[in-house]
Amino acid sequence: MIRPEYLKTLFIPKKPGKNQLAPDWSKPFAILTAYNPGTSRPTEEDNKEKNRLLRQQLSRERYPKHKVDAVSENWSHTEKSFAAWGLDHATAAKIGCDFGQDAYFWVEHGTVHVHSCHTQEKQKVGTWESRLSTYRDKPTRNLYVIQLDPLVRKDSKAFRKKNPNYKADKHCLYVGTTVLTPKERFDQHKAGIKSNRYAKKYGLKLLTELYRDQPILTAKNCVKEEKAYAEVLRIQGHAVWQN
């Protein structure tokens, strides 16, 4: 059976070690897992043991292999897997069945397909390049907005210079991103822990209504998106500080 979520899988290959050759992704390979067979949800210890047995089998049959994490689109689910070279579809399907799997992935000519382990059914997932990811792509950063005391404009020339188009009926704000919850980060600012000087001295409260609908950001895009959102708020007439 090919489940819809298989078609949105992301792949994170492990970086080769210092004395390990980089895998040749240009040659056809299968991606196999022993995690979470069928609809069962075994313990992490059981999954690790099945993963060890799969690794042993691939080594015993002398298939070159490389560790790959298969990750769901929303990053809520990860399965330890192996890219394996030199096997055919029949072998990949058998190994999948032996470990209770519904399907395996097959990559050839830069295209990823998912194949049923039990039938001839297959579906295209996308290009290998488009499905590759890194853990820096995982959404972990929360955007937050702090309301500042309007005195910040009177006290700080730099703040005024940054916001020449401020409208008197709008707020003075600080915009940031954090791996913590917005409340935890606000409390840090006020306690002087890795704090911004404006957020510490003038911070009044979090303005949840200005950030609750914003998406969770990644380590790669958080700075860009934080700056972009600060500019959106300035266009609305707010006076905004963003590091």
Q: Are 70 and 81 in contact (CB under 8 A)?
A: yes
Is 70 exceeded by the pLDDT of residue 55?
Answer: yes
For residue 198, give the 3-state DSSP assignment.
helix
Is 80 exceeded by the pLDDT of residue 40?
Answer: no
> Whole-angstrom Cα distance, residue 15 to residue 131?
16
The 10s digit of each residue's pLDDT in 189-199 is: 999 999 999 99
pLDDT of 157 reads 97
Q: Are 173 and 202 in contact (CB under 8 A)?
A: no
Percent of all residues in the chain with a pLDDT value above 70, rounded to a whole number: 99
Q: Partners of 29 in the beta sheet?
A: 85, 107
> Whole-angstrom Cα distance, residue 146 to residue 50?
48
Identify the CA nearest to 40 among candidates 55, 26, 50: 50
pTM flag (> 0.85): no
The 10s digit of each residue's pLDDT in 188-234 is: 999 999 999 999 999 999 999 999 999 999 998 999 999 999 999 99
Q: Residue written as tokens 């990053």?
A: 75
Identify the CA nearest to 101 among candidates 35, 5, 6: 35
> Whole-angstrom Cα distance, residue 198 to residue 176?
12
pLDDT of 16 reads 87
If you ran DSSP here, which 8-state letter would residue 23 be given?
A: P
The 10s digit of each residue's pLDDT in 111-169 is: 999 999 999 899 999 999 999 999 989 999 999 999 999 999 999 999 999 999 999 99
Cβ count within 10 A of residue 143: 21
- Say which amino acid occupies 52: R
